[in-house]
Amino acid sequence: MADHVYFEDFDVDLDTGEIRRQGVRVRLRGKPCRILVTLLRQPGEIVPRQQLIDSLWSSNTFVDFDSNLKTALSNLRRVLGDSADYPRFVETVQGVGYRFFAEPGKKSA
């Protein structure tokens, strides 16, 4: 059974990471998709920046985490039609992390 989360006109399968908007599959893969799934699994809760970094990169990875995380979040927001300045879904909590703050609905498929 797949676990789905619904918000506005989006449907996200938390098991596969498949995202649909008004029934049409949305192309979002990799880190932006994993960020969304992580945030949706903890709606309303602040997910610490370090928790996202740890879930996206293995411990032996050496990259500019801040830049790569910002790029992934920017891609996620673009696909969702969201904005860092005027967020509808993903809120940046300065110096702490990120939070999915829209009211998701959840049901098992």
Q: Could you list the residue range(s) of the whole structural domain that residue 69 is in?
A: 29-103
| pTM of the predicted model as reported, rounded to 2 decimal places | 0.86
The count of structural domains within the chain is 1
Please tell me the predicted confidence (pLDDT) of residue 103.
65
Answer with the residue of higher pLDDT: 64 or 91.
91
Neighbouring C-beta atoms of residue 86, cutoff 10 Å: 6
| Whether the predicted pLDDT of 106 surpasses 60 | no
Which residues lie closer than 8 Å to 63 by C-beta, 6 or more apart?
A: 57
Q: Tell me what pLDDT residue 63 has.
A: 72
pLDDT > 80? residue 86: yes
The tens digit of pLDDT for each residue in 11-44 reads 999 988 899 999 999 988 899 999 999 999 988 9
Q: Angle formed by the axes of helices 65-80 and 30-40, to 10°? A: 80
Question: Does residue 40 form part of some domain?
Answer: yes
- What's the pLDDT score for residue 105? 62
| Domain assignment of residue 80, yes or no | yes
Q: How confident is the model at residue 108 (pLDDT cuts 50, 70, 90)?
A: very low
Give domain status of residue 38, yes or no.
yes
